[in-house]
Structure 1
């Protein structure tokens, strides 16, 4: 869809998003100091209207992005399937992608487990623990085979698109695309129409991205205004160690990328810096999806491969979220003085590996998976309250890491398919 392997041009948009991020932190801290109500469980009456405005601005941007995702995933995937021409190619790419996803997920979980056991952030937490049995306010979704199936196979493509269930859209698109490929000439008008729609949606993405700095500013200002930079001191060790873990994870994934891509991995980083910054600022991997697709094609990834790998990655390859789940469960266990044996920790990793795939599309999915895992191992679910106040700050890092992981996946599968331009 775009000219392959273009050199990234100086991007003012990235600069604007970075400036918005810094301004959001500064404005948020000023609001916290002047209007915030220290020690309260929520924003002060004076701060509430400001938070509402900021939340609305962020919500507008995220809604506009979600408006783009379903038609973009459907059109790009169907066109890609039709151009591949046969189910063997689709299967080969899908298997390569899934093997990479599960390998990266297992590595993320193991690295998280290792770091938490080494650092023991929960053991040095110097704040009062929530009483056992305190309601967390989360709707617990038990990880069952029924839940897993319901989040993969759509009963209505209209419903799947309305709720942005990416995995369901992928399943329908694959059936639709393979059918288009099998009937050949008769499907040509439909494929050409969807190709046009994909180009149009990428153009719409360009329009929506002009609003990104405003959304990033509002999101950051809202978080800091409510929590204050002071919260970083209370949870400083945990936050610092978690971000160190994310940095190590990205470094490891980047090294694997270097093995297969060579110095081109640096070009990949330059291309995806804006989507990563966007995901970081809004604490949403979804917000970066349309721009990420565009940038990966500019880097030289095959559009057919990207059209299949990226949507699958958004359900199966959330490396930052996987590490966060390990960190959170063991952090809470340590905070309550519960010593989990190595065998139990390894079983927990297997549980997280599979249950995290069963709640794709559920709001606050990471926290819900963590809550379900805590109950399985008799760890107080009330411990989640320790994380709710800083979840947005942690979500920023894991969202950016998710984008990075999916970028590496798309580039590697393109390389393995000999389709990297």
Structure 2
């Protein structure tokens, strides 16, 4: 089982080409990288978790603790992006690393599914925006498709054909 962002990848890839007009070459590269490394929604969530736990526990954080929490959020996110249900482990690790009470993590687990939907929304839209910027700078965006005056279709993405690539990427994490 994969995270929601991983599950949406084939649809996002197809929509980037067919509805936005990004070339397949740029979409393949940027969206793949974005899915594994550019999960801004999860990083923001983990940073907010650190601040919430501090507030819930009545702990005043130093600037160093906030920076440490943000840095750990970035690193932990890269290691757990495709791990479903990895939030409690990351939240507990962040809490103990920054010296925060872990009791409030239970409250966060209850709402993790809902925030997961919002994280996926941020990640998918952020990845698509980056793909659009790269396509614009490399002149690989079809303005007619973007404006809706032309339609293109991509071949169906064969997941079996890409399975080996996904497995190598997962092993690299």
Report the counterpart of residue 54 of structure 2 in structure 1. 333
Aligned residues: CA RMSD = 1.8
Q: Can you give the 5+ residue segments of structure 1 that lack an aligned partner in the other structure?
A: 1-65, 67-163, 165-282
Q: After TM superposition, give the deviation of residue 369 of structure 1 in Å.
A: 2.2
Report the counterpart of residue 7 of structure 2 in structure 1. 287
In structure 1, C-alpha distance between the alignment counterparts of 2:61 and 2:27, rounded to whole Å: 40
Question: Secondary structure of 1:321's partner?
Answer: helix
In structure 2, C-alpha distance between the alignment counterparts of 1:413 and 1:331, rounded to whole Å: 35
Report the counterpart of residue 89 of structure 2 in structure 1. 368
Q: After TM superposition, give the deviation of residue 303 of structure 1 in Å.
A: 0.3
367 and 408 in structure 1: CA distance in 2 versus 1, 3 angstrom threshold: farther
> So what's the TM-score if we normalise by structure 2?
0.74
CA contact (8 A) 1:375 1:381 kept: yes
CA contact (8 A) 1:321 1:366 kept: no
Report the counterpart of residue 387 of structure 1 in structure 2. 108
Q: After TM superposition, give the deviation of residue 402 of structure 1 in Å.
A: 1.1
Question: Secondary structure of 1:338's partner?
Answer: coil
Q: After TM superposition, give the deviation of residue 370 of structure 1 in Å.
A: 2.2
Q: After TM superposition, give the deviation of residue 360 of structure 1 in Å.
A: 3.5
Is 2:137 aligned against 1:416? yes
Structure 1 runs, 4 residues or longer, greater than 3 Å off: none
The higher-RCO structure (CA 8 Å, 6+ apart) is 2
Aligned length: 141
What is the CA deviation profile of residues 301-338 of structure 1, one whole-angstrom value per residue up to 9, with x for unaligned ones? Answer: 11011111111111111111111111112101110101
Report the counterpart of residue 296 of structure 1 in structure 2. 16
Report the counterpart of residue 406 of structure 1 in structure 2. 127
In structure 2, C-alpha distance between the alignment counterparts of 1:405 and 1:316, rounded to whole Å: 12
In structure 2, C-alpha distance between the alignment counterparts of 1:409 and 1:303, rounded to whole Å: 14
In structure 2, C-alpha distance between the alignment counterparts of 1:312 and 1:365, rounded to whole Å: 20
In structure 2, C-alpha distance between the alignment counterparts of 1:407 and 1:415, rounded to whole Å: 12
In structure 1, C-alpha distance between the alignment counterparts of 2:15 and 2:86, rounded to whole Å: 27
Alignment of 1:111-190 (within 5 A): none
CA contact (8 A) 2:17 2:24 kept: yes
CA contact (8 A) 2:39 2:77 kept: no
CA contact (8 A) 2:13 2:27 kept: yes
Q: After TM superposition, give the deviation of residue 347 of structure 1 in Å.
A: 2.1
Question: Secondary structure of 1:356's partner?
Answer: helix
> So what's the TM-score if we normalise by structure 1?
0.32
CA contact (8 A) 1:305 1:413 kept: yes
Question: Which of these two proteins has the greater Rg computed from alpha carbons?
Answer: 1
Is 2:122 aligned against 1:396? no
CA contact (8 A) 1:302 1:419 kept: yes
